[in-house]
Structure 1
Amino acid sequence: VAARDADKARAAGSVAPLLGVPLGVKDSYLTKGLPTSLGLGGLAHFVPREDADAVRAIKGAGALVFGKNNLVEMSYGLTGHNARYGQVKNPFARDRVSGGSSSGSAASVAAGIVPASLGGDTVGSIRVPASLCGVVGFKPTTGRWPRNGVAPISHTLDTTGVFARSVEDCALMDQVVTGEMAAEPSGRGYDAKGTRLAYAPRQVLDLVDPEIEGRFREVVRRLRDAGAEVVEVDLGDDFGALTQTATWSIFFHETMGAISEFLRRHDIPTTFEEIIEGLKPELRDTWRHVVLPEGAGAISAEAYQTALAVSRPEIQRRLDEVFVARGVQAILQPTTPCTAPLIEQQTNFQIAGRQVSHLTLANHTVLASSVGLPGISLPAGLSRGGLPIGLELDAPLGSDGTLLDLARRIEGVLSAG
């Protein structure tokens, strides 16, 4: 029916920017008249009476909601496993994970089912699956895109965003959702002249697969060959620990309050306690340990306040030394430290010969998440085994238009090679 209506509108002269375009929507977004499960079995038949603000925006631009995308339960995971609705498989290799938590959104774009899908990103839930599935994943500056009507984890860190097959399509979606005109393309095509980029090898190359490091250094060489100035910076020996501790502390401490408020505000027919009881056992154990205030690993109010009032300003200060003092437009890093792990080894696997947990997939994406920077993951080629490798660009707060234009140019440099 919606497709027929779009045909009629087009015949009547409509120039809506997304008229008739079928889009995917992560099942954490409320969708009027369509079931919205939040990844939970207990909400399999819940049909909201309202749309999330971002869904309303794409519908207003003529888009059709083609379907809801699978996700990790309550968006709490980085590999794409959902006990009730199934493991999302990687379109490049069905024995590999898709990444998460916006797993179905990334995989549906990578598989060519839809040209773009809405996702959500708190510590890397857009950029991690974008990297592992070989698509573009854009996390705007936190707060730039509306979050109303999207199941939350952390009011400080949550960001809505998009997956697409090109930066141009991400820019169009950004324009539709925010109402802001896109930055005029620089028209420079495949060169990177006049761009000033940075990377921090001691921080972002200390735990990566050798093949990822080799590809990343090759990308840096190609960008320099295309006219970019790429400088090495050092964010400090403790930078990784600082961003990890602050970001995860905020993430875990805010979950219970954020979800409880969301359930109340939108008349979701469940309770926080029922959600915990319905989680898969390993996730239920995690929530009882770090999310519930009485949990043995719960983040104290003092530690939470330290993360907000001390750690985040210090992270921002160090980034400002790069962005402001050194005039850098974006920081480059491998989006994920490895290619997609095997499904059967997704909880623990090896990176560069070291045994790691699935949380390691977000080691690099937490940089932008920690202080709300805009970040974008671009496909940067395939490994020898045919698996996607991602390149992340993180830019100063509020510079989303500049970041998208920069990403267009870098996308051109990468595709030209």
Structure 2
Amino acid sequence: MKDTMAASTNTSGSQALGLASLGLAAAAGAIRRGETTSETYTTALLRQARAHADLNAFIAIDEDALLDGARSADKARAAGAEAPLLGVPVGVKDSYLTAGLATSIGLERLARYVPTEDADAVGAIKDAGALVFGKNNLVEMSYGLTGHNERFGQVKNPRAPDRVTGGSSSGSAASVAAAMVPASLGGDTVGSIRVPASFCGVVGFKPTTGRWPRSGVAPISHTLDTTGVFARNVEDCALLDQIVTREHAAESDDGEANLVGARLAFAPRQFLELVDPEVEDRFREVVRQLKDAGAEVFEVDLGKDFNSLIQVATWGIFAHETQGAISEFLALHKIPTTFDEIYEGLKPQLRQAWEHIVLPGGAGATSVQQYKAALDVSRPEILRRLNQAFVNQGAIAILQPTTPCTAPLIGEQEGLRIADQEVSTLALANHTLSASSVGLPGISLPAGLSRAGLPIGVELDAPLASDRALLNLSRRIERILGTLPPTL
């Protein structure tokens, strides 16, 4: 990043930190009311990004273009322009195409690739007046859950820099937690928004699959992929949801913190069997808090084979669709590489994984028959069981710990232990897979800290297409559980 700070503003360090801590809606309101300018706010965020550069949260930031955009937004506002995010910078995962700004998808060979078009979701936030602050670091091709990138570096957790952020939307979560941006666009196929949100102590919202546009975002699986958002509070997620979906009539929120009449389910047999004790203890305390606030929280059993059912079906779909989805994306957007070139350039451990599960003929590859069975048999059965809670028992959401542990140490991510069992990093998505498998909307909320000061997340999954209701419920729960301040 170039040194343009001194020339752009005289804002003091303490004032800059105060500005950087503003959320999305708060920053938009402050700019709209003339309490600050886009240039001043943007400069405060740039200072914060520079102060936390060692976290590796961003791959690319064009400071000159960003500040020019902020000045243009200030001129537009002075001339009477109105837009919900006028002059507010937002981070964007580097799997989204961004016109005029490099898009690497986390790959060395695309490090200098500059698209001429925006992903649809990027276009939507730009139409609302937002500025693209920069491109967030990610796991190569969004294929991983810890935040490690061979070319651009391991993304470090702002709450504890010796810990992972989770992945694949690692830089997006870190940049929001560290107040570099008030919100960032991410992507979620099996948990790539919710896992990092849990580890970094921010809110991560995965919409109903297909609710948000996916065009222009590097894919893994057309069945499972969804775009989504990180923010530091639910209100900001709801604002981005309204803007990206271009739905203008949001449901009203009464501002209450009570949950009287809210029926919530949780499935201890499915979601508490392989969980670190401290995470389980905090989750059960959350259940108690929600009951004290008036919620009806009841236990359900989704079946002894539920976890194996979602594991086999979801990972099978995930891997089977990867090669075709990537090849189609590269051709459609005329991106100057091929699937084979990407495969050959992957870091060794990821290349081995693709050889095993992605390439046809791999020892762990999903056959066409298995793939069709996952789509036509397993997914309907998973949804049927979830609907026993939603439809038959009237639950408006199912609760679980977002992740079965707090953020692992960076040096121990290849030897992960949960509840004293050695597991692969895929276990970090054990709880997020459920919503992903059938496309439910899901959200991870901060639920407090461990004794070591590490964030613990709680996830709420809701019925298909009930995104607005989920966001309103989450607002009320957030008032009970609170939020975590950014790391300044």
Matches of 1:248 and 1:296, distance apart in 2: 14
SS of the counterpart of 1:370? helix
Check conservation: 1:380, 1:414, Cα contact below 8 A: yes
Q: What is the aligned partner in structure 2 of residue 202 from structure 1?
A: 269
Question: In the alignment, which of 215, 224, 231 is matched to residue 148 of structure 1?
Answer: 215
Question: In the alignment, which of 383, 386, 400 is matched to residue 333 of structure 1?
Answer: 400
Check conservation: 1:172, 1:182, Cα contact below 8 A: no
Matches of 2:390 and 2:404, distance apart in 1: 24
Paired residue type of 2:280: E
Give the TM-score, by structure 2 length.
0.85
Q: What is the aligned partner in structure 2 of residue 363 from structure 1?
A: 430
Q: What is the aligned partner in structure 2 of residue 163 from structure 1?
A: 230
Stretches of structure 2 that go unaligned for 5 or more consecutive residues are 1-67
Matches of 2:247 and 2:273, distance apart in 1: 39
Matches of 2:401 and 2:157, distance apart in 1: 19
Q: What is the aligned partner in structure 1 of residue 43 from structure 2?
A: none
Check conservation: 2:185, 2:230, Cα contact below 8 A: yes
Check conservation: 2:144, 2:168, Cα contact below 8 A: yes
Question: In the alignment, which of 326, 333, 353 is matched to residue 266 of structure 1?
Answer: 333
TM-superposed CA distance for 1:188, in Å, is 4.2
- Deviations along 1:142-167, whole A, 9 cap, x unmatched? 00000000000000000000000000
Matches within 5 A, 1:6-405: 6-181=73-248, 183-405=250-472
Matches of 1:416 and 1:79, distance apart in 2: 23
Paired residue type of 1:324: V
In terms of mean alpha carbon deviation, does 175-184 or 77-86 score higher? Answer: 175-184
Check conservation: 1:375, 1:393, Cα contact below 8 A: yes
SS of the counterpart of 2:125? helix
Matches of 1:415 and 1:147, distance apart in 2: 31
Matches of 2:337 and 2:359, distance apart in 1: 17
Matches of 2:253 and 2:283, distance apart in 1: 25
What is the percentage of aligned positions where both structures have the same residue? 74
Following TM superposition, where does structure 1 have runs of at least 4 consecutive aligned residues deviating by more than 4 angstroms? Answer: none
Give the TM-score, by structure 1 length.
0.99
- Deviations along 1:151-205, whole A, 9 cap, x unmatched? 0000000000000000000000000000113533331421111211000011000
Check 1:225–1:198 CA distance in 2 against 1; reply closer, same or farther (3 A cut): same
Paired residue type of 2:92: V
Check conservation: 1:96, 1:341, Cα contact below 8 A: yes
Matches of 2:326 and 2:105, distance apart in 1: 11
- Deviations along 1:304-355, whole A, 9 cap, x unmatched? 0010000000000001111001111000000000000000011221111111
Check conservation: 2:166, 2:407, Cα contact below 8 A: yes
Total equivalences in the alignment: 417
Q: Relative contact order (C-alpha < 8 Å, sep 6+): which is higher?
A: 1
Check conservation: 2:233, 2:483, Cα contact below 8 A: no
SS of the counterpart of 1:95? strand
SS of the counterpart of 2:482? helix
SS of the counterpart of 1:68? strand
SS of the counterpart of 2:423? strand
Q: What is the aligned partner in structure 1 of residue 65 from structure 2?
A: none
Matches of 2:192 and 2:331, distance apart in 1: 25
Check conservation: 1:141, 1:372, Cα contact below 8 A: yes
TM-superposed CA distance for 1:52, in Å, is 0.2
Q: What is the aligned partner in structure 1 of residue 45 from structure 2?
A: none
Matches of 1:179 and 1:196, distance apart in 2: 30
Check 1:249–1:88 CA distance in 2 against 1; reply closer, same or farther (3 A cut): same
Paired residue type of 1:293: P
